[in-house]
Amino acid sequence: MSTRRGIPTRGTPFEVVRALLEKGGMHRAELARHLQTSRATITNTVTSLLEQGMVEPAGTDGTLELSEGKAPLKEKLVLARRAGIIGAVIHQDDSTIVGIGELDGRVIATRYMECSPDSRGRERVDTAVVALHELLDELPAPPPRLHGLHVAPNTLMNRHTGEVLGGGASSKWHGVNLRREYEEALGTAVVLENIARHSAYAQYRALTGPAPRNVLHVSLSFGIALGQVLDGRIISGAHGGAGELGHVSIDGNGPICPCSNRGCLVRYASAEEILGECRIVTGTDLTLDEAIDLALGGDDRVVSIFSRAGAAVGMALNAACNLLDPDLILIGGRLARAGDIIIDPLRDALFRSALPLFGHGLRIEQAAQLTDQDLVGASLRAMRLDLDLAAAVLAAHEPAAVTVA
Ligand SMILES: [Zn+2]
């Protein structure tokens, strides 16, 4: 922080950059109010940042001719492309989405790539890195600095070390350290978040109306996972493993699970279990979507399978609600397309055993369908909760940017 006669001053380049990162575009008067300093101080700082090409008036392409480096008074200021950009990779079971965006979270471009659910992790990292380079190459020269990458993989991993843990679905990522791979390939800071936690944050960001305080997102697919967003922050746990609802036991004498415990929720409500039961009762080799269509069409044999699965999820969620006290639960994942056929029995089972405090006013709804833009936008915003981007931006432009008083 710059100083004047040894006293820390307000309205430094660091503070202005951080305010524009967090709040998006602002007028100079808004910046002065937000940073509790004088307009003159802001004008000095902004003029210097404009001269360096770090900020620009909103709505320009960065090539605006500034008269003697003066800030246009009436226009909102945003961080310029020259200050850098950030990126995102989302590894879903059968696709990878990559994207790049402005430092304040505005999405510049995304790319969707289908892949085989059986493809190996290393191959998927290589494909994502090539696609990111292509998106970066499409930007006008000179290439902006990539200040960070948010990666949301479909595997259990330690989000700090990048080490992949767990069996089953994680086996395709065996031997791949996601942090190291992406840091080495792109030379930038990497923030990791499991896809289940990331989906919860993306759903939270897509909500309209007054923000709930504590949102749970339940992903019902071949795995079952919970993501929690409390007061706008993802709760990841100490290692990134918070929310493994699929391995909460609802019957200590139940069927054995690959995790070696008994009665885990996945043995009652995963897409694999539901599909297996639907194939038995119909005597056909259905796909999951065909099974959901039969349920939606009112086939009683199939409806009862989805209904029992929903009730099992409700039982497991009772424990989560007693621990976490959410005000909104969103049901997402591949099975959510069955809608009320799975959600009604889930709700009934949960409320049957709900304590009055968490049960009062708790809403349970189907999650929204999100676009690639929504998912990448959520990655770019989430990264800013973990990385000090303002410090990274100014460090990359030192020493000129930090000597302005
Ligand atoms: Zn288990």
Ligand 1: distance of its center to the CA of 262 in Å?
7
Say whether domain 3-82 belongs to CATH 2.40.50.140: no
Average pLDDT on 74-89 reads 90
Band of pLDDT at residue 402, cut at 50, 70 and 90: very low
Q: Are 99 and 107 in contact (CB under 8 A)?
A: yes
Ligand 1: distance of its center to the CA of 245 in Å?
9
Ligand 1: distance of its center to the CA of 389 in Å?
38
Identify the pLDDT of residue 6.
53
* Domain segments of the chain as ranges: 3-82, 83-196+371-387, 198-366
Ligand 1: distance of its center to the CA of 290 in Å?
27
The C-alpha torsion from 258 through 261 and 265 to 267, rounded to 10°, is: 40
d(CA 361, CA 351): 11
Say whether domain 198-366 belongs to CATH 3.30.420.40: yes
Ligand 1: distance of its center to the CA of 255 in Å?
10
Ligand 1: distance of its center to the CA of 309 in Å?
16
Q: Are 379 and 198 in contact (CB under 8 A)?
A: yes
User: Is it the case that residue 8 has pLDDT exceeding 70?
Assistant: no
What would be the CATH architecture of the domain defined by 83-196+371-387? 2-Layer Sandwich (3.30)
Ligand 1: distance of its center to the CA of 364 in Å?
25
Ligand 1: distance of its center to the CA of 266 in Å?
7
Average pLDDT on 163-188 reads 86
Ligand 1: distance of its center to the CA of 272 in Å?
14
Band of pLDDT at residue 269, cut at 50, 70 and 90: very high
Helices 195-206/372-386 angle, 10° precision: 110
Distances (CA, A) of 327 to 158, 196, 322, 348: 28, 19, 12, 17
Ligand 1: distance of its center to the CA of 261 in Å?
5
User: Is it the case that residue 404 has pLDDT exceeding 50?
Assistant: no
% of residues, the chain, pLDDT over 90: 64
pLDDT tens for 90-145 read: 999 889 999 999 998 999 999 999 998 889 999 999 999 999 999 999 998 888 99
Ligand 1: distance of its center to the CA of 184 in Å?
34
> Which helix (H) or strand (E) is 290 found in, with range?
helix 288-296
Task: Evaluate whether 83-196+371-387 and 198-366 have a shared fold.
Answer: yes
Phi-psi region of 109 (alpha: psi -120 to 50; beta: other; left: phi over 0): beta
